[in-house]
Structures are given as C-alpha cells and as structure tokens.
Chains A and B, each alone.
Chain A
C-alpha cells in the first residue's frame, strides 16, 4: 500500500488475449481445466439478459434488442452484464455534440433453471463498461452469486478459462474457452470498443487454473472523460482491429458490487483543465526532465484547477509524488481516469513545472477535486409536448465547444425535436441555444418550463424563440396552432 497509494485503485490491469480457438486447433493441451466441474458452477450464477434499449438521437428514436451473458453477483439478485451499448451516448455525444440517450426500457433475466425475472436497470460503469441490473421478484428469492477472489496474482502466460454466450439458434447456450494472460499493463495504451465482438465477451467471468473466479473481462476506456473534463481527445479510439480486453480484477469488482454505479448519480472527480500530453519532443524543447506529464492548455473558471493556481502552460509531472507516464496523446485517458476515480473531495498534490521566459520554476500545487460536471447526455431535460421539442441545460462541455463564457452565455440547448413537429417546422434545429422565449430570458430548463406554461395559458398563435446558432443569433416563429 505504501508503494501504491489509494489514488491508484486499479492501476494494475491485466491483459487477456484470448487464444482459445488457436489452442484448440493446434492441439496444445497446456491446461487441464476441469470443464465438467466448471460447467455446473457457471450455470448456477450465469443468466441470460434480454434487454430492450431505446436510443434517442436527434429527431430519431429507435429500439434495439440485446441478448447478453450476465452473472449474478449478490444474493438479492444484482446482475452484471456487458453495458457497452448503454454507454454509447457518451461516445456519440462527444463527437456529434448533441444528446444521445440510451435507455433500457425492459430487462428480462433468465436463469439456467429456466426462471425469468424482470429486472431494473441500475447503471453502467464508464470505465469497465460493466452494466448493472437488479432482479425484481414478487416473492423473496435468494440467489447464488459468484464470489470473486481478491488478491489473485496474475502472471503473463498463466491460463484462464471463461465462457461466452452462443447465438440463440444453438444449444447449449454457453461455450467454454481458454485464454492466456498476455501482458500486464500498468498503463493501458489503447482499448478499442468491443461492441458486438463475439469471442471476447465483455463481462464474462474469468477463472484461474483452480477454477476460482478472479475477475471479468472489461474495457478500460471512458471516452466521455475527455469531454467532461475539458474537450477533445475523442479521436484516439478504434485504431486497432485486434480486440484487447483487460481483466477487471476482484478488488475492483468488490467495490463496484458494493456500490454499483447509478445512472445519473456517478460521482467522477474533476480537475477542470484542457490537457495535452508532454511528449518527449516538447519536454526536450522546454528542457523539462520528466518521462511524461500533462500540459495545461486551458483552465476552466472556478474549477479546482483554477483554485489550485494551475495556469495555462504549466506542466504537471507528478500526482501525489507519483510520476505521470503520459508521453503520448493516446495516453491522456490514463491521467483523466486517475483523476476521475479519485472521487470528489479528494485532495491532490500536483508537482508542476512552470516554464518562464528565463527559467522554469518547480511548484507544488494542491487541489481539492470537485464532482465532474454533467456530460450533455446527463443534463436535465424539459420536454414540451404541445410544440414538440425537448431542451436541456447548458453544461460545461457546451461552453467549451461553443467557445463561450459561462458568465455571459445563457440559454438551453435544443436536444430533441419531433419530426414534422411544430418546433422543427418553425425552424428550430437540434443544437440551437434558446436564449429567449417571447420577452422572457431563458437560462435553465426551469425558465423554459415557466415560459412555456405562460404561453400555454395565453394560447397565442405563435411563439417567438430567440436563439443562438453558429455564433449568430436569430428569431424563430413557431406556430402553435392555437388560434
């Protein structure tokens, strides 16, 4: 613990390269997994998760069905599964700049003794992409959960067993496989998304050679962090075609299961900078002797970073006296994740180089991390049914994207429009920032709701919206149809 303080709760990741098919084919028989025994165990806590997901994207709403392998992790029926589809909203909202909502509208969980239960969606962990749902049953049922071992010593070359869910048209539903720990990554460089990848089954339980469950397969990226933190950094994914998945270890799972991520209530910590990797080239040029670091490109007003005294151009090279191994842009998520996982309220010491005209100063700065601001997809919304539009509050990411000042730029963002609806016909577009309705200034969805209530009471023939779009303002007349 002294070597690796609590701020790195999951710094050790283990990389699994599943070579199962290859091994079967080549006749290698390095391991003697007792799959007969494992088969009974796996069926006692494995479940099939059938989920309907509603995806709202601009003027479109689609439904999508998913059938996933799940695992019961508590006696009262908490189930983990591959939640990557449910975190798409973060990926898309980072790119497109407008809100994508993924909402599980119905979850059915079927155990291998053929009982089907309804389940409530709890939330999805952004880092591992593990989804959580809780079985809802009219009568009290006690389930047999998997119990993950903690403290397992993973080693490169050691064999693991795991299962994957086969398509519905084959029976039995589960197929066993073996794989090998192929690398120990302290600083994962790139983890592409693996949505729909069939062999590497996200969230499937990993067993060691004594058939002890020691973790689950998971991803380690959170593409939304960059945006929520300060913008940019969404382009570094999907470069590799090879699916690389890490093992989410028993320790991390223990924490997640004890306190599962709840939709809308995640408390990621946040520093409030736009950041850049200290590459060797830049370090050499600035004559900074550090193996990596974070260059501060911008400091958000009133953020923990500003309060700590961080300035544009500073180079953070240590957190809590631990070096930052970020020397490529692709490694920025390591830093972002570290900060995010520390949790709000955590005090952090940053060692900072401040390059000056004559010399470079070395400083120690202290920050108390805040709760991360909401991502666009998390911002509270207001839907107006008569005029067929939905708006959400402005969030930090909007101010950054629009290059606007939080003090002077007010409004709500049009997040959804009914196709052929009154608002869209009037000329409102997704992404417009509504700043006034009639003569009423709008700074929040509450203002919007109040303004629309007044309009609905007065029932005028038209509602005039004053909006901001592409750095210009304009008036929009939405015909209400009430006259």
Chain B
C-alpha cells in the first residue's frame, strides 16, 4: 500500500514537472551537454603490460575529448600511454582508429590523433575553458564511458579546486605522478572508464580532464585542471612530450616549521630532501634550506597546496638554464647558482625477453635515484614469468641485470642486442649477474628446457 502511494506520488511529481517550463539551470545543462558531448570519444586501446614477466596485451576502456579540428584528442596517459593500437568510438557511434601522439606521465595526460581518412562525419571540437576561474560549488558535468557505458553524463559541483596529491601516487606503469598540479575535486560521478573524459562547466567549456576517483567512497572524483592540460597538450603537439627542468629537491610545506627555521610566515619553500647526484646536491643545497626566491621571484609554500606551483616553476625552465636561488640557511641569506638538468623519463622503455621469461626496463636517471643505483647501466627486471627460466633461475622483479654471460651490460640497447644474439643462436644456457639490494647474485637460465619447476604438493 505504501509502495502504491509512493508510486502514485512519483507519477504526480513527474507529470507535474513535465508540465512546468524548463528551469534555466536545466536549460544550461542541456546547452553544455550539446556543446561538448559531440566531441566526447569512447577510447578502446589495447595496452601492453609488461608487469608479469611477459608482454600481455589487454583491452581497456577510457574516455577522451577532441580539442583540435585535425582530430587531436586528449585523454589520460594511464588510458592510452602504453597502447599498441587504439580504436575510438565517436559521438555518432562510428569507429575510427587513432594514433598515439605523445604523453606526459607526471600529469597523466596523453594526446591521440583520430585517423579520419575513411570518416565522413563531422568532427566536433570541445571548447577549453579557464580552470583558474573555477568556483567551488559551481555546477559541472562529467562525461565519459564509466564501466564502458559510453556517452554517459553525470552532474555535480566543484567540491574543491585546490586538492593536493603528493608524488607518492604512481601510475600503473610505475611513474610518480600528480604533483605538478593541484586537482579539481568533484562529486559528479566518476568511475573506471571515465578516465580522460572532460569535466565541463555550464557554459559548455572543458575545465578539467577526469582522471582519478576514490573507490569505496561516494563521489570523490578528481580532474586535472584544463589550464595544465592546455600547456601539456601544446608541448606534446610541438615535440611529442613535455620537457622539464630538474634540480633534485623534494620540498615540504613550511607550516608548523616556520618557528623552528626562523622563517617569516608566507616566505620560502623548505627543502626536505635532496636527490643524490642532482644539481641541488652538487651545488651544496641541503635539507633544511629555505628557498626564498628563484631568479628574483619570491617563492613560498606555507601549505602543501602551494608546492605544485613551485615544482612547476622550476620545471618550466628550459633544461640547462642557469638559475639563481636565494636561500635562507641558519638565519643568513645566500645565493646559489645552479644549472638545471632535463628531468627525463621517469620510467624506461620496456622489453620482453620471451626466451628467458622476464621483462626489463631501461634504467633512467630518475629510476637510478629511486633504486639507489650507482649508474644507469644494466637493465631493471620489471617482471618474472611464473615457472619460466628466470623464475626457476632465481631472478626477482627489481633485480638489476648487470652482466650476461660475464659480459657487463652497457645500457638498454646493448642488452637488447645481446639478448637478440643469444636468442637467435638458440643459446641453451645463460649466466646472468644481478644486483639485488647491493649484493651481486648469479643465476643460470636454462633457456631450452621445457621443464616445469619442481612443485611440492
């Protein structure tokens, strides 16, 4: 009976609302929808995953939005960054292939280009807004393909516009990400599959790219502000990637530490950690130094939310620039001149050694620092296939292969050459030396054996 009553009541409400004129808010939502939805793209990349010790191809689903008349669209790096081939479904449900143009793991942005040769429809472009003028509480729409449900629109508000995430977050491919920008948080529903899709204001402009959500939470979604996306996509269109300067400092909010360091409120960026081998270390900067100015421009990070601005400021110098830091140390001010270096790739290129049952990565400078290695020679073991030759031989993920058959590995290309030679010659046994946490272990891989590992039941 109660249910009947409720149903009746609902019907009344629905019919009543159907009769009232459309509210201006509703109309705005319709308009915004119509401006952006035609530029929304359902993306189905086949990505290459090396994590299990063999190259596995996996179909994934994400979202994207077209921003350029030549068919360029933006999505997340974690959607399409490792794609082997990409199929996109446009708003008119037509499928077109897309090419990967470039990506930027630190901001989780990638650019694709639709292959429109055989496409006869009309390419719609979404207008990009200005994320600096976003207001907390402002209505927004999220568009994308949550759980593959394409052309889905959800609505909410901007919950906050300066959410900070530390660099502890990593992409599935291993790169630390997200600390060069603040994030727009929204309660518009964002689910897996929404990644790369647009967050849209009611004037129908894209203000962010939806990238993250908090699982087991109710509507905690996060979008990369579009102003960051504009810069990143421009760099990618220009050179396929984003070039960043690096000086090798990790910073910490000054709040709660100002008294201790004798620093003035709202003045300075505290260095918490200095990377070994970095320009900062070579120029004797150290933890506890407070950077007051970069090339005369005052910098400050009293709160964590102010850290991305500083990181971005340093990153935006052309690599090789000489910069001058004014630094507070022990209540005295000093000037440090240092030459920035290119940040370079966070993770190296992948390679599958199918005969050996393992996958490796080239070691980049950032990986060298993270793994406390002496150099970037050698290759990093990404994955070890279960019961493969490497597994039986005792190789672990994270090992650094430093020699093959007693010949030192002189980098990634050298390693691939050696592997290919041994593989072509069908070499039955290979001796690897690996660095594991500073100790050098040996492993013999019985390549030709089809033997299974000894299983104790």
Contacts and interface: CB of A to CB of B under 8 A. Distances in A.
B379 interface: no
Contact of B444 (A285, A403, A464, A475): A285
Contacts of A477: 256-257, 260
Contacts of A482: none
B456 A281 contact: no
A285 B429 contact: yes
Contacts of A313: 440
Nearest to B287: A473
A471 B372 contact: yes
A297 B250 contact: no
A474 B257 contact: no
Contacts of B259: 462
Contacts of B423: none
Contact of B272 (A279, A284, A312, A475): A475
Given A285-B431, A464-B257, A475 B438 contact: no
A279 B270 CA distance: 52
A442 to B, nearest CB: 14
A279 B444 CA distance: 9
B444 A281 contact: yes
A140 B440 CA distance: 58
Contacts of A276: 441-442
Given A285-B429, A464-B257, A473 B272 contact: yes
A313 B434 CA distance: 12
A473 B370 CA distance: 13
Contacts of B372: 403, 471
Interface residues of A, number: 33
Contact of A298 (B270, B272, B439, B444): B439
Given A282-B444, A312-B440, A403-B438, A472 B256 contact: no
A474 B270 CA distance: 10
B324 interface: no
A54 B95 CA distance: 65
Interface residues on B, range: 20 to 34
Contact of A297 (B257, B273, B440): B440
B192 interface: no
Contacts of B287: 466, 473-475
Contacts of B156: none
A475 B439 contact: no
Question: Helix, strand, loop or mixed for chain A's interface?
Answer: mixed
Contacts of A281: 393, 429, 444, 446
B456 A240 contact: yes
Contacts of B443: 282
B344 interface: no
Contacts of A429: none
B122 to A, nearest CB: 51
A284 B429 CA distance: 10
A329 interface: yes
B429 A473 contact: no
A231 interface: yes
A231 B288 CA distance: 33
B254 to A, nearest CB: 10
Contact of A403 (B256, B257, B270, B437): B437
Interface in B236-267: 250, 252, 256-257, 259-260
B394 interface: yes
Interface string A390-404: 000000000011010
Interface in B404-457: 406, 429, 431, 436-444, 446, 456
A313 B456 CA distance: 31
A397 B444 CA distance: 28
Interface in A12-67: none
A78 interface: no
B273 A473 contact: yes
B438 A400 contact: yes
A160 interface: no
Contacts of B456: 239-240
Contacts of A225: none
11 contacts: A276-B441, A285-B429, A286-B431, A286-B442, A295-B441, A298-B438, A298-B439, A298-B440, A466-B287, A473-B273, A475-B287
3 tightest CB-CB pairs across the interface, nearest first? A298-B439, A281-B444, A297-B439
Interface of A: 230-232, 239-240, 274, 276, 279, 281-282, 284-286, 295, 297-298, 312-313, 329, 357, 400-401, 403, 438, 462, 464, 466, 471-475, 477
Interface of B: 250, 252, 256-257, 259-260, 270, 272-274, 287-288, 370, 372, 393-394, 406, 429, 431, 436-444, 446, 456
Given A231-B439, A239-B456, A472-B273, 12 more contacts: A230-B439, A274-B439, A276-B441, A281-B393, A281-B429, A282-B442, A403-B438, A464-B257, A471-B372, A473-B287, A474-B250, A475-B257
